[in-house]
Structure formats: C-alpha cells, structure tokens
Amino acid sequence: EAITLVQMEHPDIIVLDLMMPGVDGFDVLESVKANKDTRGIPIIVVTAKELTKKERQVLNKGVETLLQKGLFEQQELLADVASALDRLSMNSQRQDTAKDEPENETTPQKIARESK
C-alpha cells in the first residue's frame, strides 16, 4: 500500500519507518529508488530497529537522514524535513532556470541576453 501510494501521489518528501506492519521499510526504499519517477523524492528514515553495518550502508546511500527512535527530538525531525524541502525547492528552481536558457548558448550570448 505504501509503495502504491508513493507512485500515485509523488509526495515532496517521505518519512519512512523501517518496521511497519506487513511491509519491510527496506522494500519500500528499494522500490522508491528503483522507480525513475520517484527516486528523487527525499526520504527520512525513522527507526527503532538496531541496524547492521550493511543496513546502515544501504541507508546512507539512499536516504536524506536516518533518525533512531528515542535518540532524537521532534524538533530535529522537523528541521530535517524543512531542510530536505528547501533543497528540493532549490533544485527545482535550478532546473526551471536551466530550461529557460537556450541549450547552445555561449557565455557572451548569455550575458547579452541577461542584460536586456
């Protein structure tokens, strides 16, 4: 259900618990990252699970932040969410700016266009 919801809704951010009833959070993570339409969604993992070295390595490559339940304050989670959304917004603005610029434009042409 979580995977289907992400693919249908394309949320701006995902806060993922690794231990959900009936589904493995690692499976959700793998599915989100394997899909070209959802792989760019920032993921914050919150877990009470004791992680193996291999699990930590997987998470370090695929998630924005890893928070251990009981070891973080609510404000830390909120700050991580805000930070991830800010980065997402900046990346989106950069992509929009890049789309507005002609592909084969040289630096002098760009300067001339921007000075108009």
Closest CA to 64 of 91, 95, 98: 91
Q: Side chain identity at 22, as an amino acid letter? A: G
pLDDT in tens, 12-43: 999 999 988 888 899 999 999 999 999 999 99
Contact 48, 67 (CB under 8 A): no
Torsion of CA 85, 7, 50, 81, to 10 degrees: 10
DSSP state of 10: -
Mean pLDDT of the region 3-10: 87
Q: In the chain, what are the domains?
A: 2-114 (3.40.50.2300)
Under 8 Å between Cβ of 41 and 3? no
Tens digit of each residue's pLDDT (9 = 90 or more) over 44-103 = 999 998 999 999 999 988 898 999 888 878 888 899 889 888 888 887 776 666 666 666
